Chains A and B, each alone.
Chain A
Amino acid sequence: MKKELINEMNLRIPALSVNESFARYAVSSFVSQLDPTLEEIADIRTVVSEAVTNSVIHGYRDSKGDVFISVKYYSDRSVKITVRDRGCGIADIEKVTQPFYTGDPAGERGGMGFTIMSSFTDKMKIKSVLGRGTAVILIKRLHKDA
């Protein structure tokens, strides 16, 4: 059976670190409509926080810009989260997705952002063009009642 789009939200926020928490709670609040488990909601908060933080730190390198967040959920209880920026883009996607790789050693972020995003979701896709920006697409399938 073909899955159908049930609901969607779009959010545009300035790339400010203070908005990282707003973004994760806004998305988790929206996804709560699907009655997710506590673990699922914690996973969603975490991956949104990672993606938005990457846009703030690496995409815009603490300069001005907006982060665009789109969330869609479907009839099969899958949730598609897209976090997009118009920042500097990623030169080598394979390199930045390696565990413990960090482009900001002084920031002590641990280099686990993409590893967490990949592990806490069912699918992660990164699209990036140098000088144009990056989009991280995350798909998570929520539990189904027995």
Chain B
Amino acid sequence: MQQAKCNIEYDEGILVISVSGDIDHHSAKPLREEIDTNLYLYRAKTVIMDLSGVSFMDSSGLGLILGRYSRVNDLEGRMIIANPDESVSKILALAGTDRLITIKRTDETASHRYFNTEVKRG
């Protein structure tokens, strides 16, 4: 089991939230508080939630993602999910999240420069 944590970077209107470890009911609350603080602080036009470091996620993690999607929408931004692994993708697909939120994959851990370029291109 890996402790859940998140690393947050902001650059030119893009907020990259890289989550790692296990996301479950126990870890979701502190993650939610840290992420929300930064969502309201930066009010970024684009929020990339990089899940490449997530080792486990259950429905509490799904709730965390859908809740953040809702917050980003309220702040008139858009959210992108990056690099979920197979088991995380399975949960996202079961809930139809993959039809609601854009999911992007890169060939290695999310290259934020890649996303920045992609996002600026529109």
Contact = CB atoms under 8 A, between A and B. Distances in A.
Interface stretch (B9-17, B24-32, B43-51): B24-32
Contacts of B26: 17-18, 20-21
A89 to B, nearest CB: 20
Contacts of B28: 108
Contact of A46 (B1, B86, B87): B87
Contacts of A24: 56
B73 interface: no
A33 B68 CA distance: 38
Interface string A82-122: 00000000000000000110000001111111011001000
B29 to A, nearest CB: 8
Given A50-B59, A53-B25, A53-B60, 15 more contacts: A18-B26, A21-B22, A24-B56, A45-B56, A53-B58, A56-B25, A57-B25, A108-B60, A108-B64, A109-B59, A110-B62, A112-B94, A116-B58, A116-B59, A116-B94
12 contacts: A25-B1, A39-B87, A42-B56, A42-B86, A50-B59, A53-B24, A108-B60, A108-B67, A109-B60, A109-B63, A111-B59, A112-B95
Interface residues of A, number: 28
In this complex, which of B32, B58, B60, B63 has the most chain A Cβ atoms within 10 angstroms of its Cβ? B58
Given A109-B59, A109-B60, A46 B91 contact: yes
A42 B63 CA distance: 19
Nearest to A45: B56
Given A108-B66, A112-B62, A49 B94 contact: no
Contacts of A17: 24-26
Interface in A14-52: 17-18, 20-22, 24-25, 39, 42, 45-46, 49-50
